[in-house]
A = this chain, B = another copy of it.
């Protein structure tokens, strides 16, 4: 059996070629790179493809353009770290810090939705929901208190006692075909609840950041309602903001 080869688009290849060129020529910040016309000839592709590649490099803040002048190399980016604006699972976030993710299960329960859930998830008041409560750890250290809620559907015959899968995103994708495409998150500074203090052995005055989110799929349907309490001793919250 042959492994499926990921076909890489031409623009991607051109992007890499241009990156190589910048490296090889050792171009310094603010120095100009060859014009689009020149790159078109150099690389033997159309201007469209060159512009696609340049657009990608501009998104990555490798280059910037000034109309009428040219395309220039940007400052060396210490800013490449992706921030909150990128939707990642908590497992991915913990791994991106270089930590080993772990999970301590608190429980899985069937409930009636709260008023806020009904509003934000577009539920009926007599719909049922399932709530997964976990503590996520990073290198064994208590990192996040997670409360994730999804709508109870007919495909869920019985509620599992526990989920083996480390990542909630992976579990929901594989078992229920739920795949979040974007989320709207409210950031709320907060002190731990009594429940959290009991389970997490933390100080009462420890500050947390609550990420109160609703996740949507590509079609814009709400899929997951989650309240994640992040220990700010472990995480830095970065947002890349664009004009």
- The reply to whether A30 and B219 form a contact with Cβ atoms under 8 Å apart is yes
A186 contact set on B, CB distance < 8 A: 236-238
Known A87-B243, A208-B189: A238·B184 in contact at CB below 8 Å:
yes
A220 touches B86 (CB 8 A): no
State in angstroms the CA–CA spacing of A220 and B61 once bound together: 8
Copies in the complex: 2
> What is the CA–CA distance of A161 and B239 in the complex, to the nearest angstrom?
33
The answer to whether residues A220 and B83 also contact, given A189-B207, A236-B186, A242-B182 and a CB cut-off of 8 A, is no
Contact residues on A (Cβ < 8 Å of other chain), bracket: 35 or more
A221 touches B182 (CB 8 A): no
- Determine the chain B residues whose CB is within 8 A of the CB of A241 once the complex forms: 84-87, 182-185, 213
A243 / chain B contacts, CB cutoff of 8 Å: 86-87, 180-182
Of A70-78, A138-146, A147-155, A194-202, the one with at least 4 CB within 8 A of chain B: A70-78
Interfacial chain B residues near A237, Cβ < 8 Å: 186-188
What are the residues of chain B within 8 A of A61 when measuring CB–CB? 182, 220
User: Does A187 lie within 8 Å of B185, measured CB to CB?
Assistant: no
| Shortest Cβ distance from residue A164 to the other chain B in the assembled complex, whole angstroms | 24
A84–B86 CA distance with the chains assembled, in angstroms: 12
Contact in complex: B188, A232 (CB < 8 Å):
yes
* A111 sits at the interface (CB 8 A): no
| Shortest Cβ gap from A71 to chain B (Å) | 12
Interface mask (A76-100 → B, CB under 8 Å = 1, otherwise 0): 0101000111110000000000000
Tell me, yes or no, whether A2 is within 8 Å of chain B by CB: no
CA distance A241 to B240 in the complex (A): 11
Tell me whether A46 is interfacial, beta carbon within 8 Å: no
A184-B238, A184-B241 known; 12 new pairs, CB 8 Å cut-off, are A61-B182, A72-B219, A75-B219, A85-B239, A87-B243, A181-B242, A185-B240, A186-B238, A187-B239, A188-B232, A189-B189, A207-B207
A-B pairs with beta carbons under 8 Å apart, 12 shown: A29-B220, A75-B219, A75-B221, A77-B220, A85-B242, A86-B242, A184-B239, A184-B241, A185-B239, A186-B238, A189-B208, A189-B209
Lowest 5 A-B CB distances belong to which pairs? Answer: A189-B189, A75-B220, A87-B241, A187-B237, A85-B85
